[in-house]
Structure 1
Amino acid sequence: MKLDLNSGSEAKKIGFIGLLLMVSSILICYFHLRGMGHVFTHLFYLPTIIACIWWKRKGLVVPCTLALLLLLSNLIMPFSDFNLTEYLVRGSIFIIVGLVTALLTERFQETERQLSTLMSNLPGMAYRCMNDDDWTMKFVSEGCYELTGYTSHDFIENLKLSYASIIRPEDLEKVWNGVQRGLTLHKPFKISYRITTANFEEKHVWEQGQGICSDDGELMFIEGFITDITNLKNVEKEVKHLNSILKAIRNVNQLIVKEKDRDELFKRACDILREIRDFKLVWIGLVNENNFNISPAASSGIEESYLDSIKITWDDSPEGKGPSGMAIKNQKPYIMRNLVEDPTFKPWKAEAIKRGFSSSIAFPLMYGEKVYGSLAIYSEDFDAFNSAETSLLLELAEDIGFAIHNLDVESKQKEMEEELRASEEKYRTLFGNAEDAILIINDNRLVDCNSKTLEMYGAKRSEILGETPYDLFYPHSNEKTQRKALKYLNNALDGVPQVFEWKLRRKDGELFYGEIKLNNLNLKGSTYLMAMIRDITERKIAEDKIKASLHEKEVLLREIHHRVKNNLQIISSLLNLQSRGIDNEEVQEVFKESQARVKSMAMVHEKLYQSQNLSRIQFKDYILSLVNNLLQTYLRDPSGIQLKTDIDDVYIDINTAVPSGLIINEIISNSLKYAFDDDRGEIKISLRKDDDEMVLKISDNGKGFSKDFDFRTTETLGLQLVNSLVQQLDGKIEIDNTNGVGFKITFRELEYENRN
């Protein structure tokens, strides 16, 4: 049974001290009467010490009282020849012993309180457990409840459940292997995995710990710390997802600018959107104003047959209350977060459940007040669309609506051109009613124009006819501009249609942008030039808005890279702060290596947001920055290492930059730590790109590896990481162990893979 000196009530404590004093007094008298000749007062030390442990400085009353009683008893009825000095010394010793005991007890309890406060305020759970299948807990800090929903007592000795029972079954083997690897190597282990809390909530946790061994090397238990990283995981997931949406928006906007075929535009836009998060189905439907039906125009997904088996409208019938119908009627996004339980989705519920649809969102495709149709997305997840994603997708839907408007306008223009070429009679009919300005040129003079021309220029017919084409261009006095215009005219006269944009000026001096199409025209045996001018000022303004929107999204992407870099830098700083309180050099080295790895990844994001191209970095600049950072980290005097580089100017994306940067980090770090005894030597780095293949060489003139060293089976974490990263790059690695160590790594740039 464990003795707890602080247990019991005050009355029991006082009674116990009194009993000890009485027993001690009886024994002292007994020994004196037996003729020992001296008073044996050492028995009073026990109640003195216990009293000062229980009541700290208040307990000094006991030794002070004993010292006083000792003097008085010897004065009144001395046990032996009275020696004042002797009994003063004995009394002083009682008081000193009590004082020292009280001060040490106070100091111990203050330290215990500080430790308890620290443990209770840690953002996670400290523990001590056995190395068994249940991870049987011997100690668990109070942070256990916030992390798991269970109290610390629930886990101690598996009282109510074992810690292993809350680890997700699919992660159990990963956790066991990670811990055993660290115990085998006698190094701290770091693992992340998932647990299920008392509220059946799934959390991502990060654990760091190490084995505690006896003097003879036998493992006694494991001590470590577990913290919640669910928010970090969610942030990483959200950043990746928003990145993919921004990229999709940029790709669709570029597609809108380039693609003039409406069906192809719709199909490719659906494909781009579906790849954002591997949606089950993305489709674009166009409205039919005569019968209120929504007709599928394009779709993408493995469940496209769904559209053939259902009817969708935008009227007030049950078939008009789905996501697409409601988005068109309300002219705003409409979300159904649970298709299984939403009663308004009943007409399509059976087919949707059969295909694994769980939630849906639809956006109206509009320009101005005109609604052209809807963009609908179906996901296999319930409540799959958050507000940030909805806002970005709404922007995309607005861009597609603008593209439909432009395509409709251009489609009408093409029809007009076809009719003009079909017959002169149709030409004359359309000539007067065309939406664009039309001018007829003969012998470098304007001989005819339509009413739209007069409206566009704000001039009378007499002010237009008879003028030269140059009189309508701006500026008039620019010879270079006139030569350029003459080239367009001559090419059109030679039978080569010309389409170009030109800055024009109205009669009142106002400038506007026009899209000019020149074609030669044979009328009654004579060759004329027909110029069709469309006022594209609004389109230019709209294009400028799209460009500004793209710039805005690039700024956002740059900010995301910046924040990721800052977050990684925070992790590096936290590791640095943690390492300052550690005296173990091996553990400090682990922290330093982890900082270097995090720094190598942070540099990638730093280079990305500093570069013009947000998806690729200049690899030479990145390598030099990384190596210089490692020299500063591992060497007191970096000038002792001669660095020779021969690196091609190549640009690579983040998927290749991160693993290749970590490879360089591990190899250079290994050289700086182990290759040179006096921190002096030479390191060479070269990178060559031959077609699609890159060859990275890193070597030093240091001690090299032992002859029987096999880098593929090494237990060194750094080289294990190098092998794993080379496999990730689908590359191959070779080592030359003569005259130092040389690594040759051949790999190709990884193609982008969508991650959901």
Structure 2
Amino acid sequence: MMIKTEACPADQPDALMRNVLEEVAEEVFLLDGASLCVTWANRTAIRRSGYDLKELCGLNLADLLPPSQEMDHLFRSLRQGEREEILHYGKRRRRDGSRYSATFRLRCFDNALALFVSDDSEAVTLEQALGRSARRFGDFERELLRVNRAMTALTRVSEALVRAKDEASLLDEVCRLAHDIAGYPLVWVGYARHTPGQPVEAMAVAGRDESYIHEADITWSENDPRGRGPAGRAIRSGRMQIARNIATETSFAPWRQAALRHGFRSTIALPLIVQGLPIGAMILYATDIDAFDDKEVRLLGDLAQNLSYGIHTCRVEAERARAERRLKESEARYRSLVELLPDAVLVHRHGNILFANAKAEQLLHLPPCDRLVGRHLASFLHPRHHPQILPLIERGAYAQVPREMSFVRHGGQEFPVEVVGTEIHFHGECARLIVARDITERRQVQAQLVQTAKLATLGEMAAGMAHELSQPINVIRMAAEATLMFMDRGKANHDFQRTQFSMIEAQAGRMAEIIDHIRIFSRKDTAPVEVFDAILVLQSAVQLMAHQAESHDIAVQLAFPSAPWPVSGRPVQLEQVILNLLANAVDAIRQRREEQPGHRGFISLKAAAGADGMLRVEVCDNGIGIPPDVLDRLFEPFFTTKPVGHGTGLGLSVSFGIATSMGGRLEALPGRSGSCFVLTLPRAADCGLLAADCATQPLPSAGTEATHVLLVDDEPLAVETMAHFLGELGYRISIAHNGREAWEVYRNDPADVVVTDLRMPDMDGEMLIDHLRDIDPLQPIVVVTGHMGATEQLGRHGEDDRLTLLKKPVSLAALAQEVERLSRPPA
């Protein structure tokens, strides 16, 4: 058979097939279907032939097969599809020139050939048998058939290992081959089960009378007679077991009658060992006594070893497939979870976005055609955060604690988010995962809670507020009555009247400060963060609570630093914290008095610089105290230790949030007889805090008749008083009692300055201002109002320097100054 030798292609079997073929006892060669060159050979072929793999790949089919004209004919019939395989016997030549008897089996696949070579040097051949005594010819013939039967089974099992798709099909195929090809009448594979009774479960059966296996009820338990047969012993010991004569084998007693009835005379059990542990056995039956000689046993041992390796390989492959399936299911499950999250989930590497869920794109209001993947975090991070956040992103740092910042939506709208991040592996490389939550609604709820707590505090302070207002009203009334009485008697000289009216003016100013303080405290605090003197705020809060403490006979001890202490935040919010703590202290002392009548209560408020450089404010009392078991819940919203109907449960929660937002902390000190709260605040950079300006208002300048002032107020006495005062200063005055009347007056006689109230019937002040601005955007306007929400209502005019706001009760001198300022032409 003349075959041209060509270069060996690089094709090799895949990893699974290669691992299996490397372990078989036969020589295996894979050849290219066109050139017939060796493309791969297993370790057995390399070991027996004496060639290395590179040298073997230089050979072709003609170099491997013994020369034979019959072989040429058989090969042509194989290539033409007339045969499934070629089975040939001959001599196999090694590299060193020596030869050995071998069985050559050649199979043709789609574009390749596979050559299997079995070593027959130890097998008994027909020629050798004929050379012996004719008396022993039958024995040699039977021995040859047995050995060839075992070799055939081993060869075909090696093929099955390559073709097997899973463990079950491998076991079925091996049993079928051992029965159909090798001729064993019954073959089965049983696995040892670690369940009660330790049964051996038949996993695959082939041959006649399969019912015998199902009736046998075999176990591998040493304590059970049905576990002492060949199968049970093979599993326990890990060594093959042979029953050479079933009729006389003592251990075979439980199955003897059934086996003989089915024609079985001998059997062999081959242990299947996977990763060093017996998992079961392969059992073959024969119809002859002592049917398994040493040569056949060795070959069957190789068969069991190959099958064990094939089982292990199938299990590894099955586990890999299960792992891949679980991984895909896990990825799909977590992707669904991430896509359903109400928060934005982003994966980035140094700021470049690698993954974004649908919520992230919805949160940023991206158009349908736009995507976040491929963009940088800086594209939607608010620019004021860039100097702080972008260097962290570049360094690969991440925050495992929530951090609040602002994002910018498509279109420019800013919104607050809470961001938390961690390090992950994404597509095999390190990346950062961040979760961003829109906290717009949460901030609104927090603001509502703060406002609710402030209003609750005002309600608790109502009695004190009434007393604070009744005192100046009482002075004003008595001063006014005394002045009228002395005037009626002709005894009210100029100095007396000036003294009385100065007293009335001072008390009215005192009332204005109290009302203004309540107005500021009660409204929603939307003022920007500023630097202010914390000591002044503490003093102001104490003044508001002083009367309430005194009315309950509670002593208040104060200790403040003499120098200002600048902090950053909102003054009203800090005052709210102190008022909450003082109000709680009063309630705690009152509760203790209910239990201990006559208890002398005191509240201590001390402020001083702490060792850490922060302002430390202590508010302590000798009241009922705080139970130790509620300390952990003290700052939870709506949690209160007060009786039902007293307190909202919001004061301490809101105060804790305010302290945290100012960079400080609020905590309760345990182990005290009463209660003691400590507020610590960091010192802000000193921005030139000044003491309150208590200077007397300067006298107003005289006006001119050329300046026309329109006064609008639905209170006749108020508008007439302002008209009389400004008229005395020389201004030309017009009066209106509602917005519509003022609009008619203005259209007929435009005013240089308009002074108006806000709440009026028949067109309020806001509508009047809008009408005036439509005609003249620079019209000077002074708003005089007692409405607490005026600042918020006029917020859209916040940058209008031609509009000013004065709060009732208003100073006539301050009114005259504003009129004089606004009547001057703009610069």
Q: Same fold (TM over 0.5)?
A: no
Point out the structure with the larger helix share. Answer: 1
What is the TM-score with the length of structure 2 in the denominator? 0.28
What is the TM-score with the length of structure 1 in the denominator? 0.31
**Larger radius of gyration, structure 1 or 2?**
2
